[in-house]
Structure 1
Amino acid sequence: MSASDLGRVAGRGPSVPASAPLWKMVKRWLYIFHRWTGIVLCLFFAIWFLSGLVMLYVSFPSFRAAERVATAAPIDWGQVHVGPDQALARLKEPQFPAKMRLGMTGGEPVYRFATEAGRRAVSARTGREIHGIDASHARQIAGTLVGAASLSVDPVDHDQWVVTRHYKAMAPFWRVRLADAAATDVYVSQKTGEVVQNTTSHERFWNWLGAVPHWIYFEALRLFQEPWRQTVLWTSGIGMLGAVAGFWIGWMRVRLARRYKSGSVSPYRGWMKWHHVVGLFGGIFLICWVFSGWLSMSPWGGLRDKARDVASLYAGARNSFPATDKATLARTAHGAREVRFAYLGGGPVISIWGHGPTALLDANSGKAMIPDRAHIAAIARSAMPGARLTTTDRLEQPDRYWYSTGDPRDDSRPLPILRLKFDDPARTWLHIDPATGALLGQLGSGGRSYRWLFNALHSLDLPWLLVWPPARHIFIWLLSGAGLVISLSGVVIGWRRLFPKKTRQP
């Protein structure tokens, strides 16, 4: 006799499947988990959606190469008495620096270097290494940059706008407040006199409503890389699981064919109904958006491409630079705002910026040069030992992996470029400027996956939306609106759960 028959004989009716109590318990804990993660994190979600909309229009302050060149004064070649070879020899560095450039700083031409030991600078006028600047000199540098008098100068090791690891090697700073209409703050390195950051009152105000809460970028926490990373990982990770639980519950509670007595697909009313119905439509977006933010913190190593020393192999640099005819360089680079010195496939080159199209010179001869495709391919092969070059494409238009959203935080991606594809395990792509031969970036299989799992899901930089940028903004507003309704309704529901209204006794 079966267990079911025994049950009937005993008068207990059909037996209950053994899994039923377990499923009942799972559903109970699913409700509890969603309820309490919502109570704790829905306010965070609302802040993240609102701050993300602010970030769409106001970026976190930065002082990138394009702005540095655009705001620099033309090089005063009459003051350049020291050649690049002499300036580099002064440092006695064992390796050629990652970056070496010449530009004006506070009315003086200065060579600047990014070395393994940190940032260093040498005066092109005197040949002396710059070991430190005082507050008065910082005032002059900042005032020359912006064209305004200074109001105050304060020494800072870090603050809200120079808090990341990127700035640690350049600290401490002079923070110079200028008397211009934008209330600009310029951060000047006390070690070398290099301008490393600038902010305006407009940027500072809106970033307190944008990037700072969105990235949980509060100075006291952001100073410590790993605690900050863990905070974002756990907050977004738990929030993502809570959102998945809510979406699951939402679909279990919906009735499409046999509706509730009210005729609705949802059993809820008021804020609960808004939370339920909008969650059904916007829940997938919310889950994907939180997942992509969580992924940006590289859990378990993430999908970032593993570091490979392609740049130094591509450059093939030595630890010196050839003597340069300063008079010839001055004539060729007349009006330039910045001159950069580098190696390309073992050959020294000079690039000239800020006076029209970038020009490339052979540092040995001083003559203009444009590397041909065969030469670039040969250099690229040497930078990828053990890998075979399979394809070389010339991109004239943006595509799914080489594009710009118009966000000023991103360095502009010039066109045309060459894309060289290799058959190494990571299927690496090298992006190269055909005019200068410069390596603009590398992208492996991990980076290409990350482009879709983070950029596409979080920033919505989908190819069909990038064709007409306003469409992307409209789409972001619509989906963020759905996320806000889900989050704010969750805040109200959570508040009522924690602080229920007291009913009056008759």
Structure 2
Amino acid sequence: MVSLSRPLGKAGRRWLLLFHRWAGIAAGLFFALWIGSGLVMLYVPFPTLTEAERLGRLVPIAWDRVTVSPDDALGAGGLGGVPVAFALEMQGAEPVYRIAGQDGARATVSARTGVRLGPLTPADARHLAADGAPDARVEPIDRDQWTVTTRYDPLRPFLKVALGDPAGTELYLSQRTGAVALDTTRFERGWNWVGAVTHWIYLTPLRARAELWRTVLLWLSGFAALGALSGGAIGIWRLRLRRRYAGGAVTPYRGLARWHHLLGLAGGFGLSVFIVSGWISMNPNRWFASTSPPAALRTAYAGSLPALALAPQRLRDFAVSNTRALRFAAIGGRWWIVAEAPDGPRTVGADGAATLDARTIAAAASGGFADGPLRSIRPLAVYDAYWYPHGTDPRPLPVLRLRFGDPAATWLHVDPRDGTILQRLDRSGRINRWMFDAAHRLDLPGLTGNRPLHDVAQWVLNLLAAGIAVTGIVAGWRRLRRIRSA
């Protein structure tokens, strides 16, 4: 048995060395790109239209021009069923109702005439986005680098308006709805090419095919993870702290290989965790449920609704100072009116008397969990291990955490101000929080919310990983040159 195990062990170590060598040559450049682009992403996120930016681009509602009731607007929209989103706001000088159906369809209805508005024209886009500025350029876009993901599909096609301002701002207006869907600046676009686009391999022809992109990333990151793990195994195997090598060295290597080995011992664990957690982020085998509430839960949360029965003249009674939008939210079989202003929303019942509270939210949410009772309601006034900010994405406080006794042990995080379900977190999502957010983003207790300390930890780990990647790339290049010249 001993005589057989020794050659097998020797052969196994040889194949491990060969695999790591060629895996490093094949994936080394990806390691370097992922590390560098990840550091950029700490400071420049992928372009998106934040809620503050959306409200900032809206003007206060011209109440004297609102002559169409919400019920009539729903009828004119023709989408049917309880809308996923329904709001009154301004589109230029025209008050409009914006409606989103359960199937993703969108409709915009004039609150002045009651007519469903047609596709936005380039002249309309120039006027809405740039107030008719002569330097503005309008370009029709169906899908580009910044609107590549499927979340924009219900809004396509777009009219991209380049404002010609010093920041190089470009606005994307949906031709279907007339609303601004995205804004980008020259700074965001430039840094994202070496940040998120590189890190996620977000090349438009590939990312436009979501399942193909996911498959490519799964295989690539999985192969890279095996390369990193094999390097860690070799690094520990070749390390000698007691019976040292000649000259008292702890490593048998010299020159560049010595640096690669020592840097691997110092930062290899962090690099392996980073790569493996990146593979996990692609949700292999669909292990982790989405954190977005599913359609069935949203429908149950809305409940069976009566007509709003609000005359257009009454809508102004629900406004607050500087109201930019009036949102009609369906919660627990009742309509609630959310007045959105830059300093935050205010929510009251459509009857003008009821106030949205935790009990009402909990009763509405419980309708989506017939197989599990509500276990607890907990208001969170401070961040904790499962509700926390990340980088430039500050999550709102306070929130309500609703815990259910269903088989998936679901938690819901709900904004108590307007009843919006912000996150669905089941057992798999809480596991993913530690396997990805903690491992990949360093969203750890003590680091999350402490931006300077979090960034220092990221830089230290990533610089060590960069040293491993760069020394491996140079060593691989030298080997390939020797093979070519042999």
TM-score (norm 1): 0.91
Residue segments in structure 1 that go unaligned for 5+ positions in a row: 1-14
Rg (Cα) greater in structure: 1
Write out aligned runs for 1:270-309 (5 A).
270-305=255-290, 308=294, 309=296
CA distance in 1, matches of 2:264, 2:209: 36
Q: Tell me if 1:45 matches 2:31.
A: yes
Q: How far is the alpha carbon of 1:377 from its aligned partner?
A: 2.9
Partner of 2:194: 209
* Residue deviations 1:239-298 (CA, integer Å, cap 9, x gap): 000111111111111110111113221111222111101111211111111111111111
Partner of 2:348: 361
Q: How far is the alpha carbon of 1:343 from its aligned partner?
A: 1.1
Q: Residue 65 of structure 1: which of 24, 34, 51 is its match?
A: 51
Q: Tell me if 1:463 matches 2:445.
A: yes
Q: Tell me if 1:101 matches 2:87.
A: yes
CA distance in 2, matches of 1:286, 1:90: 56
The one-letter amino acid paired with 1:84 is: P
Secondary structure, aligned partner of 1:17: helix
Partner of 1:8: none
Q: Tell me if 1:499 matches 2:484.
A: no
CA contact (8 A) 2:300 2:367 kept: yes
CA distance in 2, matches of 1:169, 1:381: 29
Aligned residues: 482
The one-letter amino acid paired with 1:119 is: R
Secondary structure, aligned partner of 1:499: helix
Of residues 323-332 and 253-262 in structure 1, the stretch that sits farther from structure 2 once superposed is 323-332
Partner of 1:170: 155
What do you get for the CA RMSD once the two structures are aligned?
2.1
The one-letter amino acid paired with 2:249 is: S
Secondary structure, aligned partner of 1:168: helix
CA contact (8 A) 1:421 1:428 kept: yes
Write out aligned runs for 1:134-149 (5 A).
134-144=121-131
Q: How far is the alpha carbon of 1:357 from its aligned partner?
A: 3.7
CA spacing shift, 1:327–1:280, aligned 2, 3 Å:
same
* Residue deviations 1:103-124 (CA, integer Å, cap 9, x gap): 1222322211121152221111
CA spacing shift, 1:493–1:60, aligned 2, 3 Å:
same
Secondary structure, aligned partner of 2:447: helix
The one-letter amino acid paired with 1:485 is: G
CA contact (8 A) 1:303 1:450 kept: yes
CA spacing shift, 1:208–1:442, aligned 2, 3 Å:
same
The one-letter amino acid paired with 1:483 is: A
CA distance in 2, matches of 1:57, 1:403: 18
Q: How far is the alpha carbon of 1:379 from its aligned partner?
A: 2.3
Partner of 1:231: 216
CA spacing shift, 1:205–1:382, aligned 2, 3 Å:
same
CA spacing shift, 1:357–1:199, aligned 2, 3 Å:
closer
Partner of 2:236: 251
Query: How many percent of aligned residue pairs carry the same amino acid?
Result: 44
Q: Tell me if 1:241 matches 2:226.
A: yes
Q: Residue 91 of structure 1: which of 62, 77, 87 is its match?
A: 77
Secondary structure, aligned partner of 1:268: coil
Q: How far is the alpha carbon of 1:467 from its aligned partner?
A: 4.5
Secondary structure, aligned partner of 2:367: helix
Q: Tell me if 1:431 matches 2:413.
A: yes
CA spacing shift, 1:440–1:355, aligned 2, 3 Å:
same
The one-letter amino acid paired with 1:476 is: Q
Q: Residue 446 of structure 1: which of 428, 436, 447 is its match?
A: 428
Q: Residue 200 of structure 1: which of 171, 175, 185 is its match?
A: 185
CA distance in 2, matches of 1:246, 1:140: 58
CA spacing shift, 1:269–1:151, aligned 2, 3 Å:
same
CA contact (8 A) 2:173 2:179 kept: yes
The one-letter amino acid paired with 2:326 is: V
Partner of 2:468: 486
CA spacing shift, 1:392–1:331, aligned 2, 3 Å:
closer
Q: How far is the alpha carbon of 1:328 from its aligned partner?
A: 3.1
Q: Residue 395 of structure 1: which of 375, 380, 392 is its match?
A: 380
The one-letter amino acid paired with 2:16 is: L
Q: How far is the alpha carbon of 1:126 from its aligned partner?
A: 1.6
Partner of 1:113: 99
Secondary structure, aligned partner of 2:49: coil
CA distance in 2, matches of 1:175, 1:194: 12
Residue segments in structure 2 that go unaligned for 5+ positions in a row: none
